[in-house]
């Protein structure tokens, strides 16, 4: 499935690290959403990315945005990591790899030749407005790259 700016974001429901069912469409009419996909909990670049989001949360709150972070890790893994890092946004488990595929954010093989892990989320960032439309999309070619945090904020600043 291909997602493009202006499309209605594919809906989903996933369990958070707190075992809460989080449904994307529940934010419609209420909040913008910054949807992040990341390959692995407790790994270098992923930790840097999510800690950057955690530490900058007031900016996202001021832009009326809810941050949601998704990986294929289990919610048990997310719970341990969230407790350790004191993340202030939900970590969602796409263990069955359905949502990352809807967002073109699925890697068949992670780090070929080095790890050869099959079926993880690509690092990606989406801004979804209160109407449920994708306003920003960034799917990174390398798992070692971080999303463009300034572009995410600029996209949010243009929204009501």
Output the tens digit of pLDDT for each of the chain's 160 residues: 579 999 999 999 999 999 999 999 999 999 999 999 999 898 889 999 999 999 999 999 999 999 999 999 999 999 999 999 999 999 999 999 999 999 999 987 655 555 566 788 999 999 999 999 999 999 998 888 999 999 999 999 999 6
Write out the residue range of the structural domain in which residue 119 sits. Answer: 13-151
| Contacts for 24-29: CB closer than 8 Å, 24+ residues apart | 24/68, 24/128, 24/132, 25/132, 27/66, 27/128, 27/130, 28/130, 28/131, 28/132, 29/130, 29/131
Residue 160 lies in a domain: no
Q: How many domains in the chain?
A: 1
Q: What is the pTM of this model?
A: 0.94
Residues with a catalytic annotation lie at 46
Q: What CATH number should be reported for the domain holding residue 20? A: 3.40.30.10
Residue 159 lies in a domain: no
């Amino acid at each position: 499935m291909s997602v493009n700016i202006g499309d209605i974001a594919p809906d989903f429901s996933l369990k958070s690290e707190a075992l809460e069912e989080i449904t994307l469409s529940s934010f419609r009419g209420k909040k913008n959403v910054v949807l992040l996909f990341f390959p692995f909990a407790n790994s270098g670049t992923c930790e840097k990315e999510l800690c950057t989001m955690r530490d900058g949360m007031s900016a996202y709150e001021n832009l009326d945005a809810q941050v949601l972070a998704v990986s294929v890790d289990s919610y048990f893994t997310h719970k341990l990591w969230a407790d350790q890092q004191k993340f202030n946004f939900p970590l969602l488990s796409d263990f069955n790899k359905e949502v990352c595929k809807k967002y073109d954010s699925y890697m068949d093989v992670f780090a070929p030749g080095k790890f050869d892990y099959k079926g993880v989320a690509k690092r990606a960032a989406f801004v979804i407005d209160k109407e449920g439309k994708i306003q920003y999309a960034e799917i990174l070619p390398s798992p070692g790259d971080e999303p463009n945090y300034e572009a995410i904020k600029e996209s949010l600043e243009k929204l009501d």
